[in-house]
Amino acid sequence: MFSKKNYKLLPASIVMGLLVSSFVVLQEVHADITSLGRQSATQVGGFGRNAVGGSQADATHIYTVNSRQTLLKALGQSTNDVPKIIYLSGTIDMTKDSQGRTLTEDDYAQGTGYHLESYLTAYNPSTWGKKKVSGQQEINRLAAQRKQAEQIEVKVPANTTIIGLPGASFVGGNLILQKKQHYCAEYYF
């Protein structure tokens, strides 16, 4: 039996054990970690045969972040391919809004017409059968899912390196790598 408290609209993936703290002077970051940001994938391994990530970032494009909002600000638009290095500190929770409130299924469903109980009733296998789900309730669920994706999915531009500092974590979200030619984003954890 499904219950609202343990059903998720769209399971958020925990995509890599990363993260960082509010904007801090870079000199406070451990030297071994800061040198890692200057390396390309060919030097340290990883995916993307010729990926350079943010290894060419200038001093104005090196950030330390500790929240969803500061991460999004550091990344800029998904087409922002200026080389950048982002250090993650603390816990970055992608489900928190700008006021620090954790968003719930009800927040994502608001204004979409999606209601879990109605959805489960409409598509109960004992009455719906095994055919593909379709109809208004599915349309409503997809609208709520899109609202959730806008909150939890982060498009990481090309020429970006993200490094999790010791103890950092990234929860409730997905990092989606953008690509421009062979200059991919890189992650180290």
Question: pLDDT confidence of 11, banded at 50, 70, 90?
Answer: very low
What is the C-alpha separation between 156 and 99, in angstroms, rounded?
A: 23
Instruction: Please report which confidence band the pLDDT of residue 47 belongs to, taking 50, 70 and 90 as the band edges.
Output: low
Tell me the pLDDT band of 140, cut-offs 50, 70 and 90. very high
Please give the residue that has the higher pLDDT: either 174 or 36. Answer: 174
Contact 74, 66 (CB under 8 A): no
The vertex-70 CA angle with 65 and 74, nearest 5°, equals 85
Q: Which amino acid is at 140?
A: N
Q: What does pTM read for this prediction?
A: 0.70
Q: How high does pLDDT run on average in the chain?
A: 76
For residue 102, the cross-strand partners are 96
Q: Is the pLDDT of residue 187 over 60?
A: no
Over residues 27-43, the mean pLDDT reads 56
Q: What is the pLDDT, as a whole number, of residue 182?
A: 42
Nearest to residue 188, comparing CAs of 158, 153, 162? Answer: 162
**String of DSSP letters for 29-83:** S-HHHHHHHT--HHHH--S-TT--TTTT--GGGEEEE-SHHHHHHHH-STT--S-
Residue 97, pLDDT > 70, answer yes
What's the distance, CA 128 to chain centroid?
34
Q: How confident is the model at residue 173 (pLDDT cuts 50, 70, 90)?
A: very high
- 8 A C-beta contact, residue 175 and residue 187: yes
> Which of 26-30, 45-49, 108-112, 164-168 is the least confident region?
26-30
Tell me the residue length of the chain: 189
